[in-house]
Structure 1
């Protein structure tokens, strides 16, 4: 177990984030992985191949990406731990795979934007969701921001930190590789239904336990938030998550809806004219506001703190 490593990485990321100047100069692990995935997509994903061949090539592409991620992670981990205070350098490197600070900042920007104008709110939420935001009203913008906060609490914080805690940097990089591949090619479109199958299924598998852990953390965080509904949190997750198109994302999203007394989910429009009839999550108010985004952020902070405490207990008892 590497609970100490995960806890220190979370602390570094919370304090420093990933500096914009560093991103502009060298990019980010996600952009490096994205460049590799895009290269393999262009080289292997040929529409004149049969469905079975394209699926096989997608499996091979994901295998190559995972071998590279695990191999690089193992080499870096071994090299870092051979140095004086190498564990600190390893934690700093591992912190780049977490997104708790940037997630909070991006979602808070949506609340700030909505207090200024509807257009500012739309511009801010467009940075964190893939759907078409041009027709969203205030409630739609607020719901989209809260849904993104809940889902990314699982994908961007809980899941990578748990993979780091259990398998070290190689495990966290493997998770990041699969999660990035899923976001790029794990779609049910003509181009990616076959080629992205392995990425989508692997992401489902790697997020299965973290998503449910995130829902549990949101339920525990609701106990600490005045006005929240702790009893509704897990009840909403158990009742509504199975209806979500994703086997995992519905758990933290429905938990957040239950905790905040909101109704999330429902139809979502995308830029390619697709409309997804998403599951309804929660049984509360549909008319969310900027104030609800701020309450969701307060819930997020409490749940993240409890996650830190859980990792600290794991480090002390391991």
Structure 2
């Protein structure tokens, strides 16, 4: 296992690499992305263990088995890669490259910016088409404000799930923690739904995902609070919005970055939402904020995303340097 200060220096390098390079299309057109491979394995477990006709209690037990298998394989794979990196010359480069693959700063920015650009270039139809790529709700029910709110909510939630949480678990447990986290998070997105098929089988994955995202969601909200002035917002207002409204969200974690984003932008987020086949009647976060959200507000949210990612990287670097100085150790 990596020393904590070493893990932080490597994490900083991975954050920089992901921010600059992201997910190269040329690479992932030739080979499947590791998260795609994780998804295929989860699909295999779902087809094999979650068979039609099984009693719900039995599906629940099998879901626990599937979760244990995912965590064990993810942790073991990460350990094997780390061990191989220690044996190779300049093995830290391999560790950084693998860690960067599982971070999503640049790809998240690109997906959210595509919604803004779709609205500005092709109007509501363009915005709906782009937002359908990142959210599960029915895009045909969304007006411009709905498209804009959906993209900003996705920006906030995925900043936590796709950037801060994998960074946190890499810092704590190295590549084993990072890959195991991505396996759990992918399982939650695939089988952690309250549908007839997955309510029991995906129960363990959904609950464990809530647990492992708990620290990162709080840190994500704090980072957004601190960079609120980049969007013309007030850190104090953003913090007050978190303290007042985060618990109103149906997710124990998503409410923190979404409430921070709502307060920083002075807009209302969440609220009633339509998904294919059903509607969610949730309260608004920052209900006193504007509901007439526009493409310009998406640009402001992207400023918060960039600032939060930069602040996270600087925090990681400074903490690594401070620990190394205290311990009297060299970098790496």
TM-score category by the smaller chain?
Answer: over 0.9
Q: Distance in 1 between matches of 2:55 and 2:10?
A: 45
TM-score (norm 2): 0.93
- Aligned match of 1:255: 260
2:233 maps to 1:231: no
Indicate the SS of the match to 2:18. helix
Please list the CA deviations of residues 34-55 of structure 1 after superposition, one character each: whole Å capped at 9, or x if unmatched. 0000001000102322222111
Deviation at 1:305, TM superposition (A): 0.9
Q: How does 1:140-219 map to 2 (within 5 A)?
A: 140-219=146-225
- Please tell me whether the aligned partners of residues 244 and 250 of structure 1 are also in contact (alpha carbons under 8 angstroms): yes
SS state at 2:53 partner:
coil
How many residues are aligned here?
316
RMSD over aligned Cα atoms: 1.0
Structure 1 residues 259, 50: CA separation in 2 closer, same or farther (over 3 Å shift)?
same
Deviations 1:241-299 (A, max 9, x none): 1111110001100110000000011111112x111112311131000000000001011
Which residues of structure 1 form unaligned runs of 5+? none
Q: For residue 328 of structure 2, what is the aligned residue in structure 1?
A: none
- Of 20-29 and 206-215, deviating more is 20-29
Q: Which SS does the other structure have where 2:280 is aligned? A: strand
1:10 aligned onto 2:10:
no
Residues 9-62 of structure 1, C-alpha deviations (whole Å, 9 max, x = no match): 111111111111221211111100000000010001023222221110000011
Residue 278 of structure 1 aligns to a residue whose secondary structure is coil
Contact conserved, 1:81 with 1:90, CA < 8 A, in 2?
A: no
2:140 counterpart SS class: coil
Tell me what 2:107 maps to.
Answer: 102
**Aligned pair partner of 1:278 in 253, 277, 282:** 282
TM-score, structure 1 length as denominator?
Answer: 0.97
Residue in structure 2 matched with residue 24 of structure 1 by the alignment:
29
Q: Is 1:125 aligned with 2:93?
A: no
Gaps of 5+ in 2: 324-332
**1:241 equivalent in structure 2:** 246
Deviations 1:189-209 (A, max 9, x none): 111111001100110000001
State the 4+ residue runs in structure 1 displaced beyond 6 angstroms.
Answer: none
**C-alpha displacement of 1:102:** 0.4
CA distance in 2, matches of 1:204, 1:279: 20
